[in-house]
Amino acid sequence: MMALLWIYDLLFPLALLLAAPWWLMRMLTTQRYREGFLERLGRVPARFRAGVEQQPTLWVHAVSVGETLAAIQLIRQLEAARPAMRIVLSTTTRTGQQLARQRLGADRVFYCPLDVAWATHAWLEALQPRMLVLMETEFWPGLLRRCFRRKIPVVVVNARISDRSWPRYRRLRRLWKPLLERLQAVLAQSELDAKRLEELGCRQVVAAGNLKYDIQIEKHSALTLQLQTLAAGKRWVVAGSTLEGEEAMLLTAWKQQIAVHADLVLLLAPRHPERFAAVADLLKASGLRWRRRSTLGSEALHAGEVILLDSIGELASAYSLATVAFVGGSLVAAGGHNPLEAAWHGVPVMMGSHTENFRTIVHELQNQQAICILHSNNAEALGVTLQTMLNDAIATLAMGARARQVLERHSGTTAKCVATLCALLNDPPQEEA
Which residues are marked as active site? 67
Element (H, E) at 188: strand 185-188
Half-sphere exposure of 344 (CA within 13 A, CB side): 19
For residue 9, give the nearest of 119, 155, 122, 132 by alpha carbon. Answer: 119
Distance from C-alpha of 387 to C-alpha of 258, rounded to nearest angstrom: 10
- Long-range contact pairs involving 189-197 (C-beta distance under 8 Å, separation at least 24): 189/158, 189/159, 189/160, 189/360, 190/160, 190/360, 192/360, 193/159, 193/160, 193/161, 196/161, 196/166, 196/169, 197/159, 197/161
Q: Are 87 and 57 in contact (CB under 8 A)?
A: yes
Distance from C-alpha of 413 to C-alpha of 21, rounded to nearest angstrom: 44
Q: Are 268 and 247 in contact (CB under 8 A)?
A: yes
Distance from C-alpha of 203 to C-alpha of 179, rounded to nearest angstrom: 11
Distance from C-alpha of 386 to C-alpha of 397, rounded to nearest angstrom: 14
For residue 149, give the nearest of 179, 113, 186 by alpha carbon. Answer: 179
